[in-house]
Structure formats: structure tokens, C-alpha cells
Amino acid sequence: MKLKNIILTFAVTGLASLGLATTSHAATTVTVAAPNGNSAYVTNTDKGPGGYLGALIKKIDQDLPQYKFKTTFTSQNAVFAGLQSGKYDVALNNSWYNKERFANYYHTRAIGLDDLRLVYRKGGKSANSLAEVAKKNLKLVPVSTDDARYSVIENYNKSHPKNKINLKAIGDQSSADALKEVADGQYDVAIYPYPSYKQIANTVEEKN
């Protein structure tokens, strides 16, 4: 039986409830896609996927011996392209809420935006809200259009047509690269979930 597409976010999804068999004579391989550069949530290690979600998929693999979970690391955009094409069965990702995305996939409860922060350079231009980012005309690090953070800013702009943020799109970009651009002064501010920021906070000079 083909495993339906699932997005794993911070809790174990009831795989059996999605129609998976509970017994099997031979382990069925389940192809798992994971994004590169998603520190804290999932990382690529010599011993397979690490991080919060890496530990999760290993636990699921252990608890479901009738399935063998094979994880491949790729770009963020390729994760969803692979799900849509059938190349991958499951995405191991901290994917945040997007109406169109969640209409197409099974998923666990979205909680990834619960702690979204503005990150800026020590001694540089600062802001305590999206309204301040717009009012001060701060340069925001570009965000991928398939990232829920893009939707957050886009929705803010729609709700505040007279005080918009200059939102620019970009392809895949790691947290480290984005925050380094803030540290180097290329941009004034970034918008990031706190766990992702904390993983590299000691390697660049930022302030949240």
C-alpha cells in the first residue's frame, strides 16, 4: 500500500491511522525527504537524520518494524516538488501553515510560528514589530515564497497598505546564511523562529 504524503512537524503522526498495515512479512521502504540547512529541527549527520525531527523519525522507524524509513536530504523547494511528483512518501520538515499547502497534504498540527522573532544586528537598526520594520523602512532579508514567513509578511502588507514592508523573494537559503547577512550589514533585520536563531546565535552577532 502506498504511503500517503505526510508533513511531520513536532509530534508523532498516527501513521497507522492513515491506512498503513499493522503487519507485514517484509519491511516496506518509505522514502523520506528532509531539507538541508534546517538546524535544530533536522540535520544531516553521519548517523542519519539528527535534530528534533531526526530523533522522531528514528523512533517511528523503531516502533514500526514493518516499514524502513530512508531519508534523503535535499533543498526546501525540492522537498515539496518531490512529494507532489511521488518521488518521496513523507516530508520530515518543520513546515508552517499555508492554506494551499495544507489542502494537499496530511500533516500534524501546525505550531512552528508560535515563536517567530525579529532578529537584528547589535548596534544596528532595530524594530520591535512588523509595523516598525515598515515605518523605519528597514531592509528585510528576502524570504522564499514557499516559506510560511513569506505569507506572514505578505498578509501584514495586505492589512497595512499604507505601511508596507519591502518584501523580496529568494530561493532556498539556510538560517546561517540569512542571519550572517544581517550580521554583515547587508540587511537590517530578519524574521525567524526562535529555535532556528538560537542554534547559530553564538556564531554571528545578532540580537533578537
Do β-strands 6-8 and 90-92 pair in parallel, antiparallel, or remain unpaired?
parallel
Say whether pLDDT at 118 is over 50.
yes
pLDDT band at 198 (very low <50, low <70, confident <90, very high): low
> What's the DSSP call for residue 151?
H
The one-letter amino acid code at 111 reads: I
Q: Residue range 24-45: average pLDDT?
A: 82
Q: Residue range 50-70: average pLDDT?
A: 91
The one-letter amino acid code at 9 reads: T
Per mean pLDDT, which range of 25-29, 52-56, 95-99, 166-170 is the poorest?
Answer: 95-99
Say whether pLDDT at 61 is over 70.
yes
Beta bridge partners of 171: none
Q: Residue range 159-177: average pLDDT?
A: 86
Mean pLDDT of the chain: 77
Say if residue 122 is exposed, middle or buried (CB neighbours under 10 Å; 0-12, 13-18, 19+): exposed
* pTM score: 0.54
Query: CB neighbours of 13 closer than 8 A, spacing ≥ 6?
Result: 6, 106, 107, 108
Beta bridge partners of 30: 69
Do β-strands 206-207 and 116-121 pair in parallel, antiparallel, or remain unpaired?
antiparallel
Cell of 92: 520530515
Which pairs from 50-58 meet CB under 8 Å and 24+ separation?
A: 52/10, 53/8, 53/10, 53/92, 53/93, 53/94, 54/92, 56/8, 56/12, 56/92, 57/8, 57/32, 57/92
No. of H helices and E strands in the chain?
7, 12
Per mean pLDDT, which range of 6-10, 20-24, 154-158 is the poorest?
Answer: 6-10
Say whether pLDDT at 137 is over 80.
yes
Q: What residue ranges in the chain does DSSP mark as E strands? A: 6-8, 28-35, 43-45, 48-50, 67-74, 90-92, 106-107, 116-121, 143-144, 169-170, 189-193, 206-207
pLDDT band at 206 (very low <50, low <70, confident <90, very high): very low
Residue 7 has phi, psi (to 5 degrees) of -110, 120
Query: Do residues 181 and 141 lie in contact, with contact meaning Cβ atoms separated by under 8 Å?
Result: yes
What's the length of the chain? Answer: 208
Query: Do residues 1 and 60 lie in contact, with contact meaning Cβ atoms separated by under 8 Å?
Result: no
Q: Residue range 183-207: average pLDDT?
A: 70
Say whether pLDDT at 136 is over 50.
yes
Q: Residue range 46-56: average pLDDT?
A: 87
